[in-house]
Amino acid sequence: MERAALDTLIGRMLEGDRGALAKLITIVENRDAETRRIMSAVYERSGTAYVIGVTGPPGAGKSTLVDRLIGQLREAGSSVGVVAVDPSSPFSGGAVLGDRIRMQAHFLDDGVFIRSLSTRGRHGGLARATRDIVRLLDASGKEFVLVETVGVGQTELDIMELAHTTLVVMVPEAGDTVQVMKAGLLEIADVFVVNKADREGADRMVGELERMLHMLPGQPSWEVPVLSTQAIQGVGIADVLAAVRRHREHRQGEAETERLRQQRRREVYDIVEEELATRLRQAMGGGAFPDILGRVDRGESDPYGAAGEVLEDRSRLAALLAAERREG
């Protein structure tokens, strides 16, 4: 895209144009060459949205909870952006999105913008793309951005790092609470939500989570609340938002300023790293180092030795990494 056209698109997005926002999100989701230029241009306008992460095991009712949170935030007059990170599936758009139907009711509301982010074919980079999309929603003026991740894994934990407050949603049937620890959820939760709290075992799960939180080493400055909800019936949602507000107030102060400074530095590394990885893949996929890769194909070199040869060939490597990325 030409620079002038891109600048126009960015300007329209900052003025609240939903179509422009959607187009920019697509560019950033695809990690196109324009990504850095867009993000640099909108950066100054971001930083005001409050980001709430929602994660937990499959089937916990996260989408329903997100729907209810949207509803209450909208009633309070706040605008809301949503990024739902969905793993790949061959049934795209069909059955998979079935439980998003309620959430889709909000699509008609101008104060809400919802985007599903597919993980199909991605290896790494998903947390980066999610962070950038959250920042676009932020810059477009959304007061709250909800990030929902499906699944429980390392990538999901990485994504939750961008949330100001992380809700971990559980259900009584999700297996015993030891599984929560194994999935690393205990450490990232700012608020626990035991959903479907009318089911058997809910009270026991609340008690177990509270005991586990007290077993955590160190003296936490924030006591993680364990709340009960019945998201489908709308029960307990106000308490969840009240806990988010309390956690938001708790986060202020000097430690937060230093945390943000370190986060900005880490972002610089991440962006440089992502760009270099893209250049490397383009160059090697495009025929660079044919001699070395040829020996790998013929079984004369192992991948580790071949990588060592590439790394030692400093002049070719430097030329390759300094090259501008090809567009498209």
Interface positions, 164-193, toward its own copies (CB under 8 A) = 171, 173-176, 178-184, 186-187
Quick one: which of 231, 87, 238, 222 has its CA closest to 166?
A: 222
d(CA 176, CA 270): 36
Which residue, 35 or 79, has its beta carbon nearer to its own copies?
Answer: 35
Which residue, 4 or 95, has its beta carbon nearer to its own copies?
Answer: 95
SS3 letters across 22-58: HHHHHHHHCCCCCHHHHHHHHHCCCCCCEEEEEEECC
Site string for its own copies, 126-165 (x = CB under 8 A): x----------------------xxxxxxxxxx-------
Tokens linked to 327: 């567009």
d(CA 178, CA 181): 5
Cα dihedral 277, 279, 282, 283 in deg (nearest 10): -110
Which residue, 11 or 308, has its beta carbon nearer to its own copies?
Answer: 308
39 contacts its own copies (rule: CB under 8 A)? yes
Q: Which stretch binds its own copies (CB under 8 A): 7-15, 64-72, 121-129, 234-242?
A: 121-129
27 contacts its own copies (rule: CB under 8 A)? no
Site for its own copies in 282-321 (CB under 8 A): 284-285, 292-293, 296-297, 302-308, 310-311, 314, 317-318, 321
To its own copies, the closest distance from the beta carbon of 98 in angstroms equals 7
Q: Which stretch binds its own copies (CB under 8 A): 57-65, 71-79, 102-110, 221-229?
A: 57-65
To its own copies, the closest distance from the beta carbon of 77 in angstroms equals 30
Contact residue for its own copies among 74, 122, 164, 248 (CB under 8 A): 122
Which residue, 38 or 73, has its beta carbon nearer to its own copies?
Answer: 38
- Per DSSP, what are the bridge partners of residue 114? 82
d(CA 238, CA 145): 17
4 contacts its own copies (rule: CB under 8 A)? no
To its own copies, the closest distance from the beta carbon of 163 in angstroms equals 16
How would DSSP label each residue in 154-203? HHHHHHHTT-SEEEEEE-TTS--THHHHHTTHHHH-SEEEE-STTSTTHH
Which residue, 78 or 278, has its beta carbon nearer to its own copies?
Answer: 278
How would DSSP label each residue in 299-312? TSS-HHHHHHHHHH
Residue type, 191: V
To its own copies, the closest distance from the beta carbon of 226 in angstroms equals 17
234 contacts its own copies (rule: CB under 8 A)? no
> How big is the site for its own copies, counted in residues (CB under 8 A)?
86
Contact residue for its own copies among 88, 222, 238, 326 (CB under 8 A): 88
* Sheet-wide strand order for 165-170: 112-118, 80-86, 144-149, 50-55, 165-170, 191-194, 226-228
222 contacts its own copies (rule: CB under 8 A)? no
Contact 171, 194 (CB under 8 A): yes
Q: How many residues does the chain have?
A: 328
